[in-house]
Amino acid sequence: MLNITTSPVIVSTSPATGRKLGEVPIATSDDIKSAMVTARLAQEPWDRLGLPSRLALVRGVLESFYRSTDTLIDKVVAEQGRPRFEVMAEFLVTIELIRYFSSVAGKILAPQDVFVRLLPWRKHRIEYRPFGVVLVITPWNFPLVLSVAPILAALIGGNTVIFKPSEFSTQLGELLVSVFHQGGIPDEVLQIVHGDGKVGAELIAVHPDKIAFTGSAVTGRKVAAAAGNLLIPVSLELGGKDAAIVLGDADLNRAAEGIVWGGMHNAGQACASVERVYVMRPVADRLVQKMVRVMNDHIRLGPGEAYDTSMGAITTEAQRAIISSHVREAVAGGARVIVGGRPAQDDNGQFYLPTLITDVKPDMHVLTDETFGPVIVVVPVDSHQEALRLANDSRYGLTGSIWTRNTALGLDLARHLKVGNVGINDHLMSSNAPNLPWGGVRESGYGRTRGREGLLEMVTPQAISVDRALSLPREFFWYPYTPLKTGLLRRLIDVMYAPTWREKWRRR
């Protein structure tokens, strides 16, 4: 009898319809080792190609992305169950990021001459070198921009990349890498490997030279610990429990519109989603009423392919269980659900109703832990100082927003928010700007993607010092040490650093 063995696979299905979309093989230990060997062999030739030549290929990638616009959008809509408009917006941010990197990387990563005051007879410069092989691990919630940003920055810097997308965005991951290859990036320079956390751990164990991880704080700790044991540098973009502060003078109509969108975009499955709202007590009821109206008037659940869908599915059943758990605990503890508060009735898809909650207690998980779903909690406060204190009373620190007509006060509060990105009269939209650095503080991670900081994250600076002319037979600071040299050095310290002219030229 013939024995037929099959490799384990990841099956991708639509969270909105339950339809099977495809499958990919899970990488074996041999696959992982082979990918690392290939990446290492390809890295030096890729680096020696030079920055101008690599940027020429990136411009080919830009064209390839444009030619694949509808294909990429269709794939994300199907695999994530998101509204087409939202996916188009993510694509727009992604392709603009490619354009931005291709236009500024030549200047940002160019060698820089540096004058060293203590060694003026020598030339000094800073040049940027690649780390080597970069492991990029990305999540499922924004699989275009959260994947392209670190991959592209790493490639531009002269690194080769091993890319592990989430097991819930494998079909898009395959297409994404194909589009890069069609744009001119060699196959061996960018490779894709599929699997769950076990595969991720094995990828770290083969010792990449840099890790860029985007995902939950729980997994981020594991990645950081494993990388730390091997002394591998790592950048982490993790979760958030982001807060909006609404002052008494705010345009409540705009605040309601912006906060609801900021909390419900991608069904709340964004690390930058508004999950907490601290509003001045005199206007709290009016804000809640306006938020209810926005939810009722503008949010329609459904599969992303439907033209009138404004909120799609919850991508994983495990995430929907977390959302339900947070809401049930809050209700059991006395919180009041104004809108929603339960999974939507749908035989095929994983949907959760847009939810607004008030009357919460400070220790409820819906107020302290990342819900990562379409749930917004509103908390009345008595002063902007109290709002700031409560907003900062979180172990996370990714984004925040201030809603006020007083720009000066808004800026002052923004500077005291312990987060990586702040919006005034906006929360989520401006955080997608490709030329601004993106990342958080505290348990929201460290390191940055996007902006000039995102490019510099993927290279390591090297300082070079060289003679301006012929080498002297001996440097002043070399042996032998003599009384004359010691006296001259002391005089030099006086001349350069003494605060008064008398002290600069005093006799010793």
What is the DSSP annotation of 26-92? PPPHHHHHHHHHHHHHHHHHHHHT-HHHHHHHHHHHHHHHHHTHHHHHHHHHHHH---HHHHHHHHH
CB atoms within 10 A of CB 40: 16
Burial class of residue 467 in the structure, from the number of CB atoms within 10 Å of its CB (0-12 exposed, 13-18 middle, 19+ buried): exposed
φ/ψ bin of 108: left (φ > 0), alpha (ψ from -120 to 50), beta (otherwise): alpha
- Within 13 Å and on the Cβ side, how many CA atoms surround 354? 25
188 is an active site residue: no
Burial class of residue 365 in the structure, from the number of CB atoms within 10 Å of its CB (0-12 exposed, 13-18 middle, 19+ buried): middle
237 is an active site residue: yes
- What are the residues whose beta carbons fall under 8 Å from the beta carbon of 112, sequence distance 6 or more? 125, 126
Structure tokens at 241: 């429990």
Listed residue (349, 260, 244) closest to 310, CA to CA: 260
383 in Cβ contact with 346 (< 8 Å): no
Helix (H, G, I), strand (E, B) or coil at 337: strand
Helix, strand counts (H, E) of the chain:
17, 18
Name the DSSP letter for residue 145: H
24 in Cβ contact with 163 (< 8 Å): no
Listed residue (294, 274, 283) closest to 246, CA to CA: 283
Listed residue (204, 95, 107) closest to 148, CA to CA: 95
End-to-end CA distance of the chain: 100
Active site residue: 237, 275, 370, 457, which one? 237
Active site residue: 90, 271, 275, 457, which one? 271
Listed residue (124, 143, 147, 126) closest to 135, CA to CA: 147
Listed residue (9, 453, 38) closest to 194, CA to CA: 9
* The residue count for the chain: 508
Listed residue (336, 342, 364) closest to 354, CA to CA: 342
Residues catalogued as catalytic: 237, 271
